[in-house]
Amino acid sequence: MYEKTFPNKRFKHTLEFLRKHISTSHTILDLGVENPFSKIMKEEGYTVKNTTGEDLDKNQTVFSEGKQDVVTAFEIFEHLLNPYTILNEIKSDKLVISIPLRLWFSSAYRSKTDMWDRHYHEFEDWQLDWLLEKTGWKIIDSQKFTHPVKKIGFRPLLRFFTPRYYIVYAEKSPLTPEGGIKD
């Protein structure tokens, strides 16, 4: 996936955000197979367990195989058909999630050669916020950031100042005795 380019800026920003909210004493379940960023987290002292490539739309047993302190999902939810179900199944109390934002000047990403490398959802920030709220998560912090590319053209120029990624730190909202969410 990163044969030609390595997303240094995105990884740097994601690591800074993770450090801001998650201590290395926390255990992490990172959704998705082991990847360059999960290796970076381990090098930084985090205890990270990755999922093993199972189709999370169909199989959520990973969430009942022992509770981790934190679940991370970096550029995963846009690939899922039903992220609502995943967010409901998470047993951890903390979540760090990042998504690529929907860009008005670019269509949804779809690899022609890799069935797993396709975006079903192209989120806007408010859509992810609503999804988190509906599944019982309270957003504590969020940030948007750009990811310019080293190409010439109108779209690469727009990428210099149009936010491309959205990252969120959320915690499970406690429930009231009536089943509603406390503020």
- Rounded to two decimals, what is the model's pTM? 0.80
Residue-wise burial string across 139-156, b where 16 or more C-beta atoms lie within 10 A, e elsewhere: beebbebebeeeeeeeee
Model confidence at 178: pLDDT above 60: no
Q: What is the pLDDT of residue 3?
A: 46
Q: Residue 177: its pLDDT value, please?
A: 44
pLDDT, tens only, 105-127: 455 555 566 665 655 567 889 98
Token representation of residue 5: 């380019």
pLDDT at 172 over 50: yes
Share of the chain above pLDDT 70, in %: 73
Q: Is the pLDDT of residue 175 over 70?
A: no
- Quote the pLDDT of residue 174: 77
What is the average per-residue pLDDT within 57-68?
Answer: 86
**pLDDT above 90: percentage of residues in the chain:** 47
